[in-house]
Amino acid sequence: MKFMKCAVATTTVPSLFELCKGVLISNLHLLGDCGDVPVDFLAQILPYANPKQLARIEDETGRDLQTNNMWKGFCLAEKFWEEKPECPEGMEPSFRDMYTKCMIEREKRLEAAAAAMRAKYSQAKEARGKKQACQIAPRRDPGRKRTPAGKVEVSSKRTSNLMQQSIKDFKNRKFKRR
């Protein structure tokens, strides 16, 4: 008799710590005051936060969560490395302050650029309106009528002065046909 080889999957049951960590990471947008949660535990969760979430958590917790390296990473990701954070002598620079300052400056520049673009667009729109030709409806001559065949008939009631003069000269002509 032949024996079949069976693949046995070995799985480990996640610990309560790992389950809590997964729930916190998936609900970072709801995380606020961390109270007395150990900083070592938060250090495993906070790298998954975006800048807005991290700032809100820091503000609501009210204690040092040692996130300066995370803020430095955000500054590098946003390409703010040209600037150096300002700090007094003997203190570590605050990359969070630098990040917020650079983001405010960026928003101001973007708003100024958007305002300039809106102004140029409105100027171009006005210039386009001036160059645009307006269509005038053709004036219909009430003395001319179209027949169903498409021919134009001129009514005898209305004739121009030049035409009347031509008819008068034709009738009073001084030469005769031979």
Per-residue pLDDT tens over the stretch 36-45: 888 888 888 8
More confident residue, 78 or 9: 78
| Cα dihedral value 59, 74, 91, 108, nearest 10 | -80
* Contact in structure between 94 and 85 (CB atoms under 8 Å): yes
Q: How far apart are CA 96 and CA 58, in angstroms?
A: 10
Looking at the predicted structure, is the pLDDT value of residue 176 above 90?
no
11-23 b/e (C-beta count within 10 Å ≥ 16 → b): eeeeeeeeeebee
Check the CA dihedral 109-115-116-117 and report its sign: positive
Predicted confidence (pLDDT) per residue in 108-165, tens digit: 999 999 999 999 998 888 877 666 666 677 766 665 666 666 665 555 555 677 877 8
- Whether the pTM exceeds 0.75: the reply is no
Q: How far apart are CA 34 and CA 57, in angstroms?
A: 7
* Contact in structure between 173 and 158 (CB atoms under 8 Å): no
Q: What integer pLDDT is reported at residue 23 of this predicted model?
A: 92
Q: How far apart are CA 103 and CA 114, in angstroms?
A: 16
Helices 68-77, 95-131: axis angle to 10 degrees equals 30
